Amino acid sequence: MPAPSPDAAGRPAPDSVFSASGDLATEVTRFADGDEYNSEALHTLDPDQVDGARPKKRLGLFFWIAAGFFILVVVLAITAPWLPIKNPAKVVGRPRLAPSAQFWFGTDALGRDIFSRVIWGARASLAVGFLSIIFGGVIGTGVGIAAGYLRGKTETVLMVMMDVLLSFPALLLALAIVNFTDSKTVITVSIALGIVAIAPTARLVRANALIYGQREFVTAARSLGASHIRILRREILPNIIPPLLSFSIIAVAVAMVAEGGLSFLGLSIDAASTATWGNMIVSGKPALENGAPWIALIPSAVLFLTVLALNFSGDRIREYTDVKEA
């Protein structure tokens, strides 16, 4: 048997940390109060170092600058018919006038106001970007969820189809689709680019559906008798939306650049009927050697800044919504 303690019953040893007041309950309370104070001080200095505290995520100043620029472009594009700007299709001055107080962005080779054409061109370029990603996103999301949740033969068949679609170079596939149509309008170009976006969207959604389909809350929903539709709608889809949103924002930028590439090949929207940033750059290309570089450089700069804003915003939203498991 162990030897009996030499300390008196109910009294701490003289060299114990509890010997200050001679009362164990008092000393324990004192240490607990000190720990609480230290915890609060540490939480004030750095919330990430306290167990159970969530680090504060911020989108950052540059995100709001990028988002503000893009929102400004969208607002100008939507309100273009009511803005006090010149008619983009009419000749309003001499050809190749440099930017001035009268013509902020100068005039093009025909004497049309470039500022008004940039604003009106934003309508078509943004429409192509958003419509193509909406078209490809809806189909790709449906394919990806079905493949990632149902698994088995359904997944095999659907993903083989997506792999076949991905095997074609994106621009060549868009060219082939546009060539099959007689008219080159916003709708036809959007559908062509939307078909290209189906496979990447489906693969992204499938990967997330595979992850969340094995999570505990989905297992619990199945054990409670929830239907597949309810599980997909209430449990899986809400968790897929954040990464899909950030991907879609970046994909809109890619679609706008792709429209410009199609314009260089003469397979995008007809420049005679609708101005886009892409066909404005193409029409201004000869002026680069004729002393009027602003005709091509200004729409190029606007396209570059818009794509940069979308890429940066999409990346920041992805980082902001990224949930890391402990």
- Longest Cα–Cα distance in the chain: 110
**pLDDT at residue 110, rounded to an integer:** 85
pLDDT confidence bin for 203, thresholds 50/70/90: very high
Task: For residue 62, tell me if it sits in a domain.
Answer: no
Helices 152-167, 186-212: crossing angle, 10 deg rounding: 140
pLDDT confidence bin for 292, thresholds 50/70/90: confident
**pLDDT at residue 31, rounded to an integer:** 45
Per-residue pLDDT at 326 exceeds 50: no
| Angle, vertex CA 41, rays to CA 36 and CA 44, nearest 5 | 125
- Give me the CATH number covering residue 312: 1.10.3720.10
Task: For residue 257, tell me if it sits in a domain.
Answer: yes
**pLDDT at residue 310, rounded to an integer:** 92
Task: For residue 245, tell me if it sits in a domain.
Answer: yes
Task: For residue 152, tell me if it sits in a domain.
Answer: yes
Per-residue pLDDT tens over the stretch 69-89: 999 999 999 998 898 888 888
Output 250 or 57, whichever has higher pLDDT: 250
Task: For residue 15, tell me if it sits in a domain.
Answer: no
Q: State the average pLDDT over residues 261-284.
A: 82
In this structure, of 28-42, 184-198, 218-232, the range with the lowest mean pLDDT score is: 28-42
Task: For residue 44, tell me if it sits in a domain.
Answer: no
Highest mean pLDDT among 55-59, 102-106, 198-202, 286-290: 198-202
Helices 237-264, 170-179: crossing angle, 10 deg rounding: 70
**pLDDT at residue 76, rounded to an integer:** 92
pLDDT confidence bin for 130, thresholds 50/70/90: very high
Mean pLDDT of all residues belonging to the chain: 80
Q: Above pLDDT 90, what percent of the chain?
A: 24
Output 92 or 163, whichever has higher pLDDT: 163
Task: For residue 277, tell me if it sits in a domain.
Answer: yes
Per-residue pLDDT tens over the stretch 5-39: 555 555 555 555 445 555 545 554 554 455 555 55
Per-residue pLDDT at 251 exceeds 60: yes
| 103 touches 60 (CB < 8 A) | no
Q: Looking at the 3D structure of the chain, how many domains does it have? A: 1
Domain span holding position 183: 70-82+117-321
Name the pTM for this structure: 0.77
Task: For residue 226, tell me if it sits in a domain.
Answer: yes
In whole angstroms, give the CA distance from residue 169 to residue 166: 7
DSSP 240-295: HHHHHHHHHHHHHHHHHHHHHHHHHTT-SS-TTT---HHHHHHHTTGGGGTT-THH
In whole angstroms, give the CA distance from residue 313 to residue 326: 26
